[in-house]
Amino acid sequence: MIRVPIVTTDPDLIELVRSAAQSLSDELQPVFLSGREEVVEYLMYELPEMKIIDCTDVSGTNPQFMEILDAIRDDPWLHYGGVVAVHADDDERKLIERLRDANIIAVLRREEFAENVSRLLRILVRNKQFLFQRGMQQHLMRKISGTFIIDNDPLDIVVFTNLVTNYLYNANLVNREDKDKLHVALQELLVNAIEHGNCKISYNEKSAWLEAGRYAMDLIREKNKQPAVSARKVHLSYTIGPDASSYSIKDEGDGFDWRTRLSVEPSVGLHGMGMRMAGLYVNGLHYNEAGNEVSFSVAHQRDSSNVVPLIFSAQEEIAFKDREIVVREGEASDYLYYIVSGRFLVFSGNKYVSFLTPDDMFIGEMSFLLSNQRSATVVSKGESRAIKVSKQAFVDLIKQNPHYGIFLARLLAQRLTRLNIRAARLNAECLRLKAIVEGQLEADPVT
């Protein structure tokens, strides 16, 4: 069940969301909030995976949404959940700029939101695996793959592009620059698939439309009035692994002569640069023979954290050299470390046990919190960086930011749960092997 805070005082907007959520009642629960303190407290302690914020101020009693947006922007490490912002005027740029470091899912005019709220909620519920959960990324970060089925609608382009790029950034798989590049590439290629593939909009037709001062997305909407066109879909397939992710975008059109298109010298105009721009921003971009499917890949960064928790940002950041000892087995645990970048090897009794990366977030947190001696020696593998936090500083920070204490407790609980699951599986495997040895169970056949 996804609990989604809806920040508004507008009764019409409340009714819109309540009505749209009825068909998803088993999967989504809207939580309606209004007062600034109530909203900020909910965001701090519940850390929702997504939130819808009304920025229209229709009734004049809307909460001070700019302060709420600033709270989200000031600590993106904590407030990583996706944001749907609803506004009244046509100037989206100022609002988007204010939300630059937040994870925007969509910024919609009120009329657009009213028309699309049901479909927007369905998209998010059906693809909730892309609504990132901090602390779970290492557990979930095996190779995952699937396919998004996308309608010929501008909203779908925005939402699916943001879902993919936000997820990769939050999981520390791409940095800010690569996220922005992938965002441009995905958006351009999805637009091409819908415009030129499914809607069969020619270059000259789009040029004439733009030269008349009209918006390209309105041309797509005009074409979708034809039932045969609106029935077509775009298939965005993905495979995301630790080192790279690959994508393919296939439309249901007839394709096009991509070889001729790419061989023509580019000219500056109102449009027509999407293919070349995408090719500059991703790896191995290529089309199938028919020209109705394009594929590409993106290399991931390794062992780096994109965002530092706000409460640790003023603490000392230490650079470690290759093979430098960070903590030593048996010594007092007066500090914990938040991992910023690099890889750290863990040794117990001079035997290699495991390694830690930014996905693990902390070094030495268990012995630190339990006031025990260090149970292992941790050594930097190559150059690395970590933030050193003393016990007194940690206590002071949690006193000033109690919501962080609850969140960090959740992270530890998640880690213990994963360890318990792993231990249970190992125990079951040991019992199975023991039964085989004692002749109580037949071994699996060799294939």
Look at the chain and report how many structural domains it folds into. Answer: 4
Q: DSSP label at 326?
A: E
List the structure tokens of 292: 């109705």
What amino acid is encoded at 238 in this protein? Y
Task: Report the first-to-last Cα separation within the chain, whole angstroms.
Answer: 41
Shared-domain flag, residues 144 and 292: yes
Shared-domain flag, residues 179 and 293: yes
pLDDT tens-digit map of 215-250: 878 888 888 889 999 999 999 999 999 899 999 999
Q: How far is CA 375 from CA 33, 330, 364, 417, in A?
A: 46, 6, 9, 20
Dist. CA 216–CA 194, nearest whole Å: 11
Residues 291, 258 contacting (CB under 8 angstroms): yes
Shared-domain flag, residues 201 and 163: yes
Q: How far is CA 389 from CA 185, 314, 327, 364, in A?
A: 40, 10, 13, 11
Instruction: Name the pTM for this structure.
Output: 0.85
Going by their DSSP bridges, the two strands 103-109 and 316-320 should be labelled as: unpaired
Single out the residue of 411, 304, 397, 309 nearest to residue 76, CA to CA: 309
Coil, strand or helix at 58? coil
* N residues, the chain: 447
Shared-domain flag, residues 26 and 153: no
Q: Which of left, alpha, beta for 402 (phi over 0: left; psi -120 to 50: alpha)?
A: alpha
Dist. CA 427–CA 120, nearest whole Å: 44
Shared-domain flag, residues 272 and 157: yes
pLDDT tens-digit map of 56-97: 764 444 556 777 888 888 888 888 888 999 988 766 777 777
Q: Is the pLDDT of residue 207 over 50?
A: yes
Give Cβ neighbours of residue 34 (< 8 Å, ≥ 6 apart): 7, 8, 9, 61, 62, 63
Residues 59, 10 contacting (CB under 8 angstroms): yes
Shared-domain flag, residues 99 and 184: no
According to DSSP H, which parts of 307-358 are helical? Answer: none
The pLDDT value given to residue 61: 43
Tokens 């960064």, residue located: 301
Structural domain of 430: 403-447
Shared-domain flag, residues 147 and 225: yes
The residues pairing with 248 across neighbouring beta strands, listed in sequence order, are 237, 295
Percent of the chain with pLDDT over 70: 90
Final residue in a domain of this structure, among 251, 277, 301: 301
pLDDT tens-digit map of 11-61: 999 999 999 999 998 899 999 998 888 888 898 888 888 999 988 764 444
Tokens 């991931």, residue located: 300
Shared-domain flag, residues 224 and 248: yes
Shared-domain flag, residues 50 and 152: no
Quote the Cα angle for 340-343-345, to 5°.
130
Final residue in a domain of this structure, among 251, 268, 301: 301
What does the mean pLDDT of the chain come to?
Answer: 85
List the structure tokens of 336: 């914990």
Shared-domain flag, residues 324 and 418: no
Shared-domain flag, residues 162 and 229: yes
